[in-house]
């Protein structure tokens, strides 16, 4: 059995196609993860800010004299 140059080239093209496809999936997945992380941070910030306003007391000081 002998391996021809065309056989090697075909297999390398197949491998390159799989690598390119995997790269595209990884990039799109990374963007989704980043967007999700930003949304989680914003939601936590908003909830913490609301709780801080709700629980804090307002004290007014008047100076007499």
pLDDT: is 9 or 32 the higher one?
A: 9
**If you average pLDDT over residues 10-33, what whole number do you get?**
88
Token readout for 17 is: 């196609």
Query: Which range is least confidently modeled, 30-34, 45-49, 50-54?
Result: 50-54
Cβ neighbours around 3 below 10 Å, total: 8
Q: What is the mean pLDDT of the chain?
A: 85
Rounded CA separation 22/25 (Å): 5
Confidence of residue 56 (pLDDT cuts 50, 70, 90): low
What is the average pLDDT across 30-38? Answer: 86
pTM of the model: 0.44
Distance CA 15, CA 17 (A): 5
């Amino acid at each position: 059995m002998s391996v021809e140059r065309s056989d090697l080239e075909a297999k390398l093209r197949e491998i390159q196609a799989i690598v390119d496809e995997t790269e595209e999936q990884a990039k799109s997945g990374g963007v989704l993860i980043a967007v999700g992380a930003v949304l989680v941070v914003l939601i936590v910030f908003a909830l913490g800010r609301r709780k801080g306003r709700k629980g804090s007391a307002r004290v007014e000081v008047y100076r007499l004299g």
